[in-house]
Amino acid sequence: MSFLEYIIQQLINGLTIGAVYALIALGYTMVYGIIELINFAHGEIYMIGAYIGIITLGVLSAQGLTQSSLALAMGIVLVVSMVYCAAYGFTMERIAYRPLRQAPRLSPLITALGMSIFLQNYVMLTQGARDKFFPPLFTGGINIDEVRISYIQVFIMGISVLLMIALQLFIKNTRLGKAMRATAQDKKMASLVGINIDRVISITFIIGSSLAAVAGIMVGMYYGLVNFYIGYVAGLKAFTAAVLGGIGNIAGAMLGGFLLGLLEAFAAGFIPPPHGAQYKDVFAFTILVLVLIFRPSGLLGEQVAEKI
């Protein structure tokens, strides 16, 4: 494998995982844009999405659907998981965040953390602490010289890009999207012109959570296994991506996700093995600190003076 091919290979790997980070980061950034809260439990929603995916897939393959029609089965898995994650996200907002809308800033942060711990342990207790395996459904791939793109990578990138475009269209063109933008700008003003703020916030959580569900399933298929603590690391990384792009900025979250995926792939590829893998997570975190110190508004975010 030549050097150029190696770089291209890392590029593809990076873009794949970056697409997933971007999907999760969207959830963080949308919620932050509207209620200025870091939803710590968002990573857990992603993990729940992966679990629901595995469980649904198990049921479907017992019925023999995965063998007869893979596309239909995948569709069902995605939809079920999205519905469930949306339900979890919605419930979470109702329980942990809505009652604290007027409380000091510290309170919702603490409930968010509590929620995250709760969901993590809930899944651990009901599903066991061991890794769960995703049945390999897409095998094979495309080989161009030495560079290999597996079908799963194509699937991940295809679906993510599709969802991101859909989200952009939704926010730009629909009434609800407009309401969301208005709420993000000024909650009080938006409610004065007749926007139901509570509903908009619920919808934001629902959309963010369904995107996380898709990300969960895709990562599960990509790595072949999930466990109850994947949400923690993925959450931290997606948050890094959101901050990198400028938190609250939707295009920024996408850019940040892809960028972080690429940076990570190249760091893991070029730093000698024992350290590259061990310190991979430290690496993402270092980026986060650097961005926060030198450019807290992120790449695409505007410098906003704090509201007094």
Partner 1 sequence: MKKILRVMVISLWFGFLTFPFMGNHAGLLIVLLLAGGGLWLVITTLRNTKTVKQWLERASFYQQGFQRNLNRRDRRIVLGILLVLALLFPLFNNRYVVDVAVMCGIYICLALGLNIVVGLAGLLDLGYVAFYAVGAYLYGLLSINYHTSFWLALPLGALMAATFGVLLGAPTLRLRGDYLAIVTLGFGEMIRIILNNWDRVTRGPNGLIGIEAPSLGKKFVFSQPIHYYYLILLIAIITIFVVNRLNHSRIGRAWIAIREDEVAAEAMGINTTRMKLLAFALGAMWAGLGGVFFASKMTFISPESFTFFESVIILCMVVLGGMGSIPGVILGAIVLVVLPEMLRDFYLPFMQVDFSRARMLIFGMLMVLVMIFRPQGLIPSARRKLELHPKKDEDILEQKPEFVYEVASKSQEL
| Footprint on this chain of partner 1 (rule: CB under 8 A) | 36-38, 40, 51-52, 55-56, 84, 87-88, 91, 95-96, 99-100, 102-111, 113-123, 125-127, 232, 236, 239, 243, 278-279, 281-282, 285, 288-289, 292-293, 296, 306, 308
Minimum distance, C-beta of residue 43 to partner 1, in the bound complex (Å): 11
**Vertex 249, ends 245 and 255: CA angle to 5°?**
35
φ, ψ at 232 (rounded to 5°): -65, -55
Q: How far apart are CA 234 and CA 77, in angstroms?
A: 21
- Kindly state the smallest distance separating residue 76's Cβ from partner 1, in Å: 13
Helices and strands counted in the chain (H then E): 13, 4
Paired tokens of 134 = 């995703």
Closer to partner 1 at the Cβ: 110 or 161? Answer: 110
Task: CB nearer to partner 1: give 222 or 283.
Answer: 283
Whichever of 56 and 153 has its CB closer to partner 1, that residue is 56
Cβ distance to partner 1 smaller for residue 192 or 293: 293
Distance CA 126, CA 144 (A): 44
Is the Cβ of residue 88 or residue 222 nearer to partner 1 in the bound state? 88
* CB of 169 vs partner 1, minimal distance in Å: 30
**Mutual orientation of helices 151-173 and 197-223 as an angle, nearest 10°?**
170
Cα separation, 209 vs 203, whole angstroms: 10
> In the complex, what is the shortest distance from the CB of residue 1 to partner 1, in angstroms, rounded to a whole number?
29
In DSSP notation, 84-149 reads HHHHHHHHHIIIIIGGGTTS-THHHHHHHHHHHHHHHHHHHHHH-SS-EEPPP----EEEETTEEE
Question: What's the closest the beta carbon of residue 133 comes to partner 1, in angstroms?
Answer: 17
